Each structure stands twice: as C-alpha cells, then as structure tokens.
Amino acid sequence: MTEQEIITRYFSRHSADAGVEIGIGDDGAVVRPPKSSRLVITSDTLNEGVHFAPGCKPGDLGYKVLAVNLSDLAAMGAAPLWASLNLSLADAEHVWLEGFSQGLFQLADRYGVRLIGGDVVRGPLSVSLYMVGFLEPDLMLTRSGARPGDFIYVSGTIGDAAMGVKLRDGIQHRKMAKADHEYFTLRLNRPEPKVNLGQEIVSCASAAIDISDGLLSDLHQILLMSEVGAQIELDQIPLSKAMRRQLKTDKDWHVVLTGGDDYELMFTVCPEHQDAIEMISEKTACPTRCIGRITQGKGIELSRSGQSFSLPDKLGFDHFS
C-alpha cells in the first residue's frame, strides 16, 4: 500500500462538518472554532519500548494515544474538538492498521473528536497525536491556582495502571488471581479519560492535573506552579479491590504513590465548593475522593493511620532521570 492508500483506507472516516471546512486529503486542515472560545492545544508521543511493549495490541495503542491527549484536555477543563495523527510504521500491515484505527475511532466517536489530518511515514513504530479542544470564556484550569486550605481530590482509583506496567514488564512476581491480572492490564491499556468530569469541575476547582507520571510526581507539579505544600493521608487514597489485595508492605504503597498511566484527574478545591464537587461526581458518575489539603510552605507530607510515612526516593516517572 502507498502512503495515500493507507490514509484513505484507514483514517478518512470523518467527513467535513460545520467546524471542519477541509479535513484529511489536503496539505492542511481548515477549521472553524466555536465563537468566543479559546483553543487548548496538546500533544503526546508513544514510542515502542518506552510507552508500550513490542507486540502491544494495535487496538489498545490506537485507543490509548487518543486517551492520553483527551486526559490532558480534561485537566484543563476543555472540550475536545480535533486531532491530527502522525504514525511511523515499519510495514503497512492490514490487520495492524485495521485494529489500530478501530481503537482510535472507538474513543474518538465517543467524545465527538474529528480526525482532520496527520502523516504516515516508514520507520520505527511510534505514534504521535496533536489535539485541539476549546474552553468557554473566563473558564480554565491550570496547575498554578492551588491555595493553602484547599482540599486535594482525585478521581477513580489510583495505582492500577502502574501494577499493569509491572505485570507487562515481568516485575510483579507475587501470585495474583487471573481476574486481577486482567483488570490491571485493562487499566493500563485502556485508560478512561475523565473528559466529562474536567468540563464540570472547571467552574469550581482551583487547580488540576492528570495523573500520568505518578500521584506524587504530578502533585509536585501543582505545588511548584502554585508555590504551596501539601499533606496527604494514604488511607484516603481510593484503591480498587484488586490493588488492596496487593498491598502487603509499606513498599507496596510506592506503586500507588509513584506509578503513572492512571490518567485520573487530581484537582484542588476551596472548602466552600466541596458540596459542588459531590454533586458533579454524582452527575458525571465519576467517583472522587478528598485525599489531603494544600498547606503553606513547600513539599509533601505523607501520613498513614495518623503516623508519618516516608516519601519514596523517586516521586514518579521521568524520561531522563
């Protein structure tokens, strides 16, 4: 297959609409953003051997490259609009391309994302997605708005995807039920971006980030940008039943605290908006939990059952550490 045949056969499913005057097929896309809105732009790259293992199911890869970008938009409180895909392939295999595109469009169609362009080249397997969303006037979430006294919330459950990474890489040797193994693998390969939650909390949260590099690492980013500190109570961190079965020692908590790839939201809320968060959580059918508070000063203090808990040596994942 030629490059153009690949694009036409697998990625030209979306025709032009009211917001897309010219989509896939030209040298560039021509789009029309919603009136009076501000655009939010993000991108992510997934490389074989770094972000996913050789032999990863193509449907999972197509799904995940969109999911991680949707999660970034959710952390800003933005609604998704358009995506542009860059794909590097060693070979043009029908089965792989069909599976990849199905995974991608499965999630794109769920959230109304239009694929409007991109590029396909020959080379080592790598996937990069560039994505555009929009914000309503005067509404925006950033990492720099946390203030002392704010409560710290997270969505969903934490640490499941990190356990999936350990299983994928053969690091987890403890006996595990098949159902738990499958659950952790699903959480790694098919994260659920909290798109609807992000668009709802934008009106009342003071700061937010998505948990991609690890709970402590991403919390640290909020603290740096907001010039504050934090106290976290480990017993309040929401855990799945499968993860609770894996917590045998204090060291096991490091998976929860430093593992990435959950793509849940972490956000801060002033006390008077706590009731609003409870209503939003119910409205979006997305569980949220308060795990601590923002403090004066700097740094992170951990406690468990009223006792101090030592910070891990590394707070989370970093490509160059």
Is 159 among the domain residues? yes
What range does the domain containing 88 cover?
A: 3-135
Is 218 among the domain residues? yes
- Which CATH number fits the domain that encloses residue 196? 3.90.650.10
Longest dimension (CA), the chain: 63
Is 314 among the domain residues? no
Q: Is the pLDDT of residue 320 over 60?
A: no
Query: Any residues with CB less than 8 A from the CB of 166 and at least 6 apart, and which?
Result: 172, 255
Neighbours of 191 (CB within 10 A): 25
End-to-end CA distance of the chain: 40
Q: Please report the pLDDT score of residue 222 as a whole number.
A: 98
Same domain? For 304 and 215 the reply is: yes
Q: Please report the pLDDT score of residue 47 as a whole number.
A: 93
Same domain? For 170 and 253 the reply is: yes
Same domain? For 284 and 159 the reply is: yes
What six digits make up the tokens of 168?
Answer: 């994928």
Q: Is the pLDDT of residue 18 over 70?
A: no
Q: Is the pLDDT of residue 94 over 60?
A: yes
Q: Sorting pLDDT into bands at 50, 70 and 90, what band is 7?
A: confident
Tell me: the pLDDT tens digits for 100-137? 999 999 999 999 999 999 999 999 999 999 999 999 88
Tell me the average pLDDT of the chain: 92
One-letter amino acid for residue 232 of the chain: I
What six digits make up the tokens of 225?
Answer: 């940008």
Same domain? For 124 and 203 the reply is: no
Q: Please report the pLDDT score of residue 71 as a whole number.
A: 98
Is 231 among the domain residues? yes
Same domain? For 160 and 261 the reply is: yes
Q: Are 154 and 289 in contact (CB under 8 A)?
A: yes
Q: How would you class 85 by CB atoms within 10 Å of its CB: exposed for 0-12, middle for 13-18, buried for 19 or more?
A: buried
Calculated CA dihedral for residues 216, 202, 237, 301, nearest 10 degrees: 40
How many structural domains are present in the chain?
2
To the nearest whole percent, how much of the chain has pLDDT over 90?
75
What six digits make up the tokens of 300?
Answer: 């992170």
Q: Sorting pLDDT into bands at 50, 70 and 90, what band is 29?
A: confident
Is 180 among the domain residues? yes
Q: Please report the pLDDT score of residue 321 as a whole number.
A: 60
Same domain? For 52 and 185 the reply is: no
Q: Is the pLDDT of residue 319 over 70?
A: no
Distance CA 205, CA 231 (A): 18
Is 142 among the domain residues? no
Final residue of a structural domain among 72, 103, 135:
135
Exposure b/e, 31-54, CB count within 10 A at least 16 = b: beeeeebeebebebebebeebbee
Q: Is the pLDDT of residue 317 over 70?
A: no
Give the H or E element holding residue 79. Answer: strand 79-89
Q: Please report the pLDDT score of residue 315 as a whole number.
A: 77
Same domain? For 288 and 161 the reply is: yes
Q: Is the pLDDT of residue 269 over 90?
A: yes
Q: Please report the pLDDT score of residue 10 as a whole number.
A: 78
One-letter amino acid for residue 105 of the chain: F
Q: Please report the pLDDT score of residue 173 as a whole number.
A: 64
Q: CA–CA distance from 103 to each of 34, 64, 87, 92, 100 (Å)? A: 27, 8, 14, 17, 5
Same domain? For 159 and 294 the reply is: yes
What six digits make up the tokens of 29?
Answer: 């896309």
Q: What angle separates helix 58-76 from helix 178-189, to the nearest 10 degrees?
A: 60
Tell me: the pLDDT tens digits for 128-149? 999 999 998 889 999 999 999 9
3-class state of residue 216 by DSSP: helix
Residue 38 dihedral angles phi and psi, to the nearest 5°: -115, 140
Is 146 among the domain residues? no
**What global pTM score does this model have?**
0.93
Tell me: the pLDDT tens digits for 186-227? 999 999 999 999 999 999 999 999 999 999 999 999 999 999
- Which CATH number fits the domain that encloses residue 111? 3.30.1330.10
Q: Is the pLDDT of residue 307 over 80?
A: yes
Is 318 among the domain residues? no
Same domain? For 72 and 166 the reply is: no
Distance CA 261, CA 76 (A): 18
Q: What is the CA radius of gyration of the chain?
A: 20
Same domain? For 90 and 167 the reply is: no
Same domain? For 123 and 233 the reply is: no
Same domain? For 181 and 222 the reply is: yes
